[in-house]
Amino acid sequence: MKKITAIYPGTFDPPTNGHLDLIERGSKIFDELIVAILRNAEKAPLFSLPERRLMLETLTQDFKNVRVDTFDGLTVDYAARVKASAVLRGIRAVSDYEYELQMALMNRKLQPALETVFMMPAEKYSYLSSRLVREVAQLGGSIDCLVPELVAQKVREKMDVAHKFENAEQLAGKASSEGKSRSRKKKA
């Protein structure tokens, strides 16, 4: 009997409860599921590739048939390298479907033997995306119900560092402008 390996590609920046829902359900369908973190040079991620990989490895350690890997380039080329016969993709809304259908058709054109399997997330995650998690966190909202506890902690740590850096820059800018203001008063 043929072993079916699937890849679940994405940026996972950060991993969400929706991602974990698909990973758990995908692990029940495929013999092996590879969570493939895309290295996308066009995006400025919140978390580095090693940070995302470590989070996902920790979050998926109980799934014996799931492993985490990284890749860049075309999904079809990566799938061929790892001998995957399927790509798992999540679809939250009609807008996702249009984009994902276009990608699936292009992947089929490039690699006809590679199948795309679409899964709907659990209803409670149907609105959830990494982008929304980042936006809520950046605006000071709670993300505790959107991501696993480990991820929420890592996001808080990142945001604390970013806010401290931003506050330090603002204080430095304020001190610089006050210094210039004082020097102008002395000259006058």
- What's the CA gap between 74 and 9, in Å, rounded? 11
- Catalytic residue from among 3, 39, 43, 182: 43
HEC-encoded secondary structure of 121-168: CCHHHCCCCHHHHHHHHHCCCCCCCCCCHHHHHHHHHHHHHHHHHHHH
19 among known catalytic residues: yes
The set of residues, in sequence order, having a beta carbon less than 8 Å from that of 160 and lying 6+ positions away, is: none
- Catalytic residue from among 25, 53, 67, 92: 92
- What's the CA gap between 50 and 70, in Å, rounded? 9
Closest by CA to 28, choosing from 52, 12, 4, is 4
130 among known catalytic residues: yes
92 among known catalytic residues: yes
163 among known catalytic residues: no
- Catalytic residue from among 27, 52, 89, 130: 130
Task: Show which residues are catalytic.
Answer: 19, 43, 92, 130
